[in-house]
């Protein structure tokens, strides 16, 4: 219980710290998850007035809108200067596992459209090698079993996130025990399987900066 409270405190700390990267009157990309929710709440309470946000999920759109922050479609904007998002795991090379909340595809799209991706995490997310957190993969529903078999052949143990449908109308496989020592190669291999929409590895396009909320304060690398 105390550990959860401390993690929540660190999420709020890093959510507030992310305000330092936001410029007034800009259009920013906003990720998904409880850490990003802390950032959205801090932004709404701050004096920073952004022009609008591009959202990575229906949940984030709802929260932004509730705070009176305008949400625009990515197709209405050019590239964005800044994308703020959390992660489930990050390594020392700023490579990430994302998708615990199931928003990985839109997150990868908005990250890809952004010149700077600032990833905000609490210290529990930092790992030496990615892969303790099961890797989320968004799949077209009709391909679920076929993709699962290919993932077994790659050494993983896929588990269908039953009852969950993504904002894009697809399903998620959470893959345990994959060898992610070379996450760039594995990201390409998985994305090449027909029926995979995207996988939650952000290694080919890692974060540009990771900001960590830790018990000794804010760290970044
Ligand atoms: C959602 C994500 C989130 O960034 C990730 O799950 C981290 O979430 P939280 O900040 O709640 O720990 O990738 O798809």
Q: For the chain, give every domain's residue range.
A: 2-126+204-220, 135-200
Q: CB-based burial of residue 140 (10 Å sphere; 0-12 exposed, 13-18 middle, 19+ buried)?
A: middle
Q: What CATH class does 2-126+204-220 carry?
A: alpha beta
Mutate to test the pocket of ligand 1, among 3, 4, 32 (most ligand atoms within 8 A of CB): 32
Which positions are catalytic? 107
On the question of pLDDT at 2 being above 90, the answer is no
Per-residue pLDDT tens over the stretch 66-104:
999 999 999 999 999 999 999 999 999 999 999 999 999
On the question of pLDDT at 124 being above 90, the answer is yes
List, in order, residues 6 or more apart from 101 with CB less than 8 Å away: 32, 33, 57, 59
Per-residue pLDDT tens over the stretch 171-202:
999 999 999 999 999 999 999 999 999 999 99
% of the chain surpassing 90 pLDDT: 98
On the question of pLDDT at 16 being above 90, the answer is yes
How many Å apart are CA 164 and CA 156, to the nearest integer?
Answer: 21
Looking at the domain 135-200, which fold is it? Alpha-Beta Plaits (3.30.70)
Q: What is the pLDDT of residue 125?
A: 98
What is the pTM for the complete model shown? 0.96
Q: What is the pLDDT of residue 44?
A: 98
How many Å apart are CA 139 and CA 145, to the nearest integer?
Answer: 10
Q: What is the pLDDT of residue 168?
A: 98
Residue 115, classed as helix, strand or coil, is strand
Q: How far apart are the CA of 85 and the centre of ligand 1, in A?
A: 8
Per-residue pLDDT tens over the stretch 17-36:
999 999 999 999 999 999 99
Q: What is the pLDDT of residue 201?
A: 98
Rounded mean pLDDT of the chain? 97
How many Å apart are CA 115 and CA 184, to the nearest integer?
Answer: 20
DSSP structure class, residue 132: S
How many Å apart are CA 93 and CA 136, to the nearest integer?
Answer: 20
Q: For residue 121, give the ligand 1 atom closest to its CA.
A: 10
CB 162 within 8 A of CB 141: no
On the question of pLDDT at 14 being above 90, the answer is yes
Q: How far apart are the CA of 150 and the centre of ligand 1, in A?
A: 26
What confidence category does residue 4 fall into, taking pLDDT thresholds of 50, 70 and 90? confident
Q: What is the pLDDT of residue 3?
A: 86
Atom 10 in ligand 1: residue holding the nearest Cα = 35
């Amino acid at each position: 219980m105390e550990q959860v409270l401390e993690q929540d405190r660190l999420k709020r700390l890093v959510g507030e710290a992310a305000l330092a990267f936001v410029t007034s009157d800009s259009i920013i990309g906003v990720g998904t998850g409880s850490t990003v929710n802390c950032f959205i709440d801090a932004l709404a309470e701050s004096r920073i007035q952004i022009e609008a946000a591009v959202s990575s999920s229906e949940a984030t759109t709802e929260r932004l809108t509730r705070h009176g922050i305008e949400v625009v479609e990515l197709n209405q904007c050019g590239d964005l200067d800044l994308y703020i998002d959390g992660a489930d795991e990050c390594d020392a090379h700023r490579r990430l596992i994302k998708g615990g909340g199931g928003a990985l595809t839109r997150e990868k799209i908005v990250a890809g459209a952004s010149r700077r991706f600032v990833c905000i995490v609490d210290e529990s997310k930092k790992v030496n090698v990615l892969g303790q957190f099961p890797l989320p993969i968004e799949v077209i529903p009709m391909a679920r079993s076929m993709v699962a078999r290919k993932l077994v052949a790659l050494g993983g143990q896929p588990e269908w996130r039953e009852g969950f449908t993504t904002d894009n109308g697809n399903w998620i496989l959470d893959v345990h025990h994959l060898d992610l020592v070379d996450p760039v190669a594995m990201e390409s291999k998985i994305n090449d399987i027909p029926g995979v929409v995207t996988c939650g590895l952000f290694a080919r396009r890692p974060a540009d900066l990771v900001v960590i909320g830790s018990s000794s304060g804010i760290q970044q690398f």
